[in-house]
Amino acid sequence: MGYHEHKHQSPANTTCAVIIISGSRNKQNDESGKLIAQLLKNDDHRVSSLSILKNDAEAIINKVSCLLEDENVQVIITSGGTGASNLDITVETITPLLDKRLDGFGELFRLLTYQEIGSGSIMSRAMAGVVKGRAIICLPGSVDAVRLAMEKIILPEIGHLVREASR
């Protein structure tokens, strides 16, 4: 079976959890998490939770581990902590949990980012992978980056990604 047949057999609706990782975001000023949740809902996906965590590796691992125990969660999307700063620890925290890396996600995201902002795209370490049959996607914290990733990559492929990760 080819790509189109696989995609056609993929679920149209998924259940996602969203985690915002930031030292400065809270429920009142978190635009990225709200955007992720709204775009998912607009595309008929379910958002089981939206959490805001500090840049704390233990808290991130605990939250992701808890979400992986929930059989309904098919995708975990994080936003924040993917840059070059010493405070940006999302990638270092999530990577050891992965069973498989999906390098194409980060590569495509940086290409699309380059087309929008130029060479500053090199500072993004956005990435995706599979852990325990679930997809996990780590996005930058900016609203523009979230919108780009959601509209150009995640929403068009989320069902297919869930299908393949769970097989």
Supply the pLDDT for residue 98.
98
**Alpha helix (H) residue ranges in 70-149:** 90-94, 103-117, 143-149
Tens digit of each residue's pLDDT (9 = 90 or more) over 93-104? 999 999 999 999
pLDDT in tens, 103-153: 999 999 999 999 999 999 999 999 999 999 999 999 999 999 999 999 999
The partner residues of 127 in beta bridges, in order of sequence, read 138
pLDDT in tens, 44-57: 999 999 999 999 99
CB 53 within 8 A of CB 63: yes
Average pLDDT in the 4-15 region? 86
* pLDDT attached to residue 19: 98
* Average predicted confidence (pLDDT) for the chain: 96
Q: Which two tokens stand for residue 103?
A: 């390098």
Q: Is the pLDDT of residue 60 over 80?
A: yes
Residue 7 has a pLDDT of: 76
Indicate whether 73 pLDDT > 80: yes
Section 8-32 average pLDDT = 92
Task: Please name each of the domains of the chain with its CATH number.
Answer: 30-101+108-131+142-165 (3.40.980.10)
- Whether residue 91 contacts residue 81, with contact meaning beta carbons closer than 8 Å, is answered with yes
Structure tokens at 138: 């780590």
* Cβ atoms of residues 149 and 109 within 8 Å: yes
Q: Given a cut of 80, is residue 6 above it in pLDDT?
A: no
Token pair recorded at residue 79:
């936003």
